[in-house]
């Protein structure tokens, strides 16, 4: 059966920005160098990269719509939960219960970054930006 030719994807659109975050401990808040990234090839998610001193970076993937929802009301399940804080920041709880980290960041800055991702890939068009060929090729094997 002949296959229809697939139109080539446009080059990926990428957004990367340092975002100040703080790791919250019972005794203090510790600034942590963080980069938030987005690529149109993975259009539903932000990557949050925590740059740790002397260790490999830790990367968490967070749904971009969840970030917007979490800036207004508690949201999330499992290992990723977000909620607005009384001081106007956004709290991210990452990891399983009992072994998680809570991180605070500027809610408006992160929400602005997410809105920028919607300018790159509008809501409802995400699937047009995913390269499905590797998955399809693996299913044909």
pLDDT tens-digit readout, 83-99: 999 999 999 999 998 89
Q: What pLDDT was estimated at residue 98?
A: 87
Chain-centre distance of CA 13, in angstroms? 15
Tell me if residue 31 falls in helix, strand or coil: strand
Given a cut of 90, whether residue 6 has pLDDT beyond it is no
For residue 64, the number of C-alpha atoms closer than 13 Å in the C-beta half-sphere is 26
Backbone angles phi, psi at 45, to 5 degrees: -125, 150
CATH architecture of 14-140: Roll (2.30)
Which pLDDT band holds residue 2 (cuts at 50, 70, 90)?
low
Higher pLDDT, 119 or 135: 119
The end-to-end CA distance of the chain, in Å, is 16
Task: Give the pLDDT of residue 62.
Answer: 96
Token readout for 9 is 């994807």
- DSSP β-bridge partners for residue 17: 36
- Locate 116 and state its tokens: 């920028």
Pick 81 or 130 by higher pLDDT.
81
pTM: 0.85
Mean pLDDT of the chain: 90
Mean pLDDT of 133-139: 76
Identify the residue with better confidence: 75 or 53.
75
What is the reported pLDDT for 1? 52
């Amino acid at each position: 059966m002949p296959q229809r030719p697939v139109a080539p994807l446009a080059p990926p659109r990428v957004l990367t920005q340092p975002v100040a975050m703080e790791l919250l401990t019972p005794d203090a808040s510790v600034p942590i160098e963080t980069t938030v990234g987005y690529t149109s090839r993975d259009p539903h998610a932000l990557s949050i990269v925590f740059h740790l001193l002397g260790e490999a970076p830790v990367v968490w993937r967070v749904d971009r719509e969840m970030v917007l929802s979490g800036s207004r009301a508690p949201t999330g399940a499992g290992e990723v939960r977000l909620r607005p804080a009384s001081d106007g920041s956004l709290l991210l709880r990452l990891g399983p219960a009992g072994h998680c980290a809570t991180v605070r960041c500027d809610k408006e800055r992160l929400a602005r970054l997410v809105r920028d991702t919607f300018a790159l890939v509008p809501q409802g068009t995400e699937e047009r930006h995913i390269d499905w060929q590797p998955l399809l090729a693996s299913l044909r094997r």
